[in-house]
Structure 1
Amino acid sequence: MIADVVIAALALDPGRIAHCAALLSAEETARADRFLREADRTRFIASHAALRVVVGRECGLPPERLRFATESTGRPVLAEPAGTDLDINLSHSGDIALIGLVRGARIGVDVEIRRPLPDALRIARSHFAPDETAALEALPPSWREAAFFGLWTRKEAVVKALGAGLSQPLAGFSVTVPPEPARMLRITGGTAQWTLATLDPGPGACATVAVTAAGVAIRRQSRSATWADKFDAK
């Protein structure tokens, strides 16, 4: 089994943003318009257009022909074309989007821009599993902030693959803490078969992909801003 993860640049000029906006559905456009900050609105437009472009090429369809629905937790699913076994996931932070695709399993992706976080240990003690917190505490202080964000993306990618939303307690499962390679340690309920992989989305950022199957090969691709120049199904 192979999972594809596409890292797409979201720092687009106004012409490319307008190009992206023309791809979105009426529902996506309405969601974009609810953002108060222009930067948030344009990142939403760009990230959802990127999702359409990547999924459209996988399905061999123009991106505007795709139709998405959401599970009860808000997780996106492909509604048109119907009957496909393609699972999808989207994450974006700052000027980076992460798009995950896999057939025959479920996928979750998460990307985070690192920032100063002096209370990282306090947050970990409140939300993470005790063994994860202990592993963070054992790291040299200069490593903890980067390790926290790496751990956060691992946790979020698993939650997004499960599609459980806020009903999945973060302390209900444990993953390894960076700099250890990404791996599931324990999980209460659900599948015990997982593939976790750390991705490098660029300077100052960290990312993880999680798939509900063992031994999945992760195929990573990057797209510069030129992905928004031409939309087709090839």
Structure 2
Amino acid sequence: MSGADWPVSEPGPLYGGQVWTVDLALSEAGRARCAGVLSSEEETRAGRFLRAEDQARYRTSHAALRLILGLALDADPRRLRFTTGPAGKPALAGPDRGLAFNLSHSGSRALVGLSRQGPIGVDVEAVRPLPDALRIAHGHFAPDEAASLAALPAGQVEAAFFALWTRKEAVVKALGAGLSLPLADFSVSLPPDPPRLLRILGGSPRAWTLRHLEPGPGTVGAAAIASAEARLSLHALPAGWPDALP
């Protein structure tokens, strides 16, 4: 499903998982509203980026995260508090800690995942020319994934690489493992096969739900929930979404 097809209507109760697509290309006024809801700690982190566009992308994506979490929890986005897990994965602090979330952004597009069925990970990438896709795959992915990628017609390799990459990153982010989980320790399917976890060291691939996403023009993404057959609904923040911020 492309970003243009994602519903912008009210999401309804969060029984399983949700993935939101967010357009980060905002006006100066919209960016200013985003900065107004961030904590001092988030503002400090934004200021560490050297490029102004990276600072703006951090502020807008984290403001969108706060807005979406606030909608799910019926809470003021400014009052949400966060903590981090052992591997540094952010989590809600206090009584809302049962709601898992994850954020990813690339270019002018962000994804926000929410879940009450298990840990969730999302990843989005702007598709771009990648002449060394096969070299990267052989150096970092599982052997069966690299072989499947190399078997594709040349014209399909780049798109399949980004689909594969986002599926793997979504799994890693759901686990909160960071760099401690080598990408060769598990395998996922490649397009045109349906997204699924094929194997994972020390675990059961059947205990996972994977979803292929196309959150906006020129992008590909994925969502992974550490729960079998998890329900996942898709939503989009409407144009002018910063106006909904307090």
Give the shorter-chain TM-score range.
over 0.9
- Equivalent residue, structure 1, for 2:4: none
How many matched pairs?
A: 231
2:133 is equivalent to residue 120 of structure 1: yes
Q: Distance in 1 between matches of 2:123 and 2:107?
A: 12
- Greater strand share, structure number: 1
Q: Distance in 2 between matches of 1:152 and 1:209?
A: 12
Per-residue CA distance 1:41-61 (angstroms, 9 max, x = gap) = 001000000000000110110
- Equivalent residue, structure 2, for 1:90: 103
- Equivalent residue, structure 2, for 1:39: 53
Please report how far the alpha carbon of residue 231 of structure 1 lies from its aligned counterpart in structure 2 after TM superposition.
2.0
1:229 is paired with a residue whose SS is helix
1:224 is paired with a residue whose SS is coil
Q: After the TM superposition, which residues 12-51 of structure 1 pair with which residues of structure 2 at under 5 Å, given as runs?
A: 12-51=26-65
Query: Percent identical across equivalent pairs?
Result: 54
Q: Distance in 2 between matches of 1:62 and 1:86?
A: 16
Q: Counterpart of 1:201 in structure 2: which amino acid?
A: P
- Equivalent residue, structure 1, for 2:168: 155
2:244 is paired with a residue whose SS is coil
TM-score, length basis structure 2: 0.91
- Equivalent residue, structure 2, for 1:104: 117
2:86 is paired with a residue whose SS is coil
Q: What are the ranges of 5 or more consecutive residues in structure 1 without an aligned counterpart?
A: none
- Equivalent residue, structure 1, for 2:215: 201
Q: Counterpart of 1:178 in structure 2: which amino acid?
A: P
Return structure 1 stretches of 4+ with deviation > 6 angstroms. Answer: none
TM-score, length basis structure 1: 0.96
Q: Distance in 1 between matches of 2:130 and 2:160?
A: 11
Please report how far the alpha carbon of residue 83 of structure 1 lies from its aligned counterpart in structure 2 after TM superposition.
4.9
Q: Distance in 2 between matches of 1:84 and 1:163?
A: 15
Is contact 2:185–2:201 with CA below 8 Å preserved after alignment?
yes
Q: Counterpart of 2:86 in structure 1: which amino acid?
A: S
2:197 is equivalent to residue 176 of structure 1: no
Is contact 1:105–1:212 with CA below 8 Å preserved after alignment?
yes
- Equivalent residue, structure 1, for 2:6: none
Q: Counterpart of 1:34 in structure 2: which amino acid?
A: R
Please report how far the alpha carbon of residue 204 of structure 1 lies from its aligned counterpart in structure 2 after TM superposition.
0.9
**RMSD of Structure 2 on Structure 1 (CA):** 1.2
Please report how far the alpha carbon of residue 76 of structure 1 lies from its aligned counterpart in structure 2 after TM superposition.
1.1
- Equivalent residue, structure 2, for 1:69: 83
Q: Distance in 1 between matches of 2:93 and 2:196?
A: 31
Is contact 1:47–1:92 with CA below 8 Å preserved after alignment?
yes
Q: Distance in 2 between matches of 1:150 and 1:208?
A: 7
Q: What are the ranges of 5 or more consecutive residues in structure 2 without an aligned counterpart?
A: 1-14
Q: 1:212 aligns with which of 226, 232, 241?
A: 226
- Equivalent residue, structure 1, for 2:24: 10
- Equivalent residue, structure 2, for 1:143: 156
Is contact 1:51–1:90 with CA below 8 Å preserved after alignment?
yes
1:101 is paired with a residue whose SS is strand
Moved more, 71-80 or 113-122: 71-80
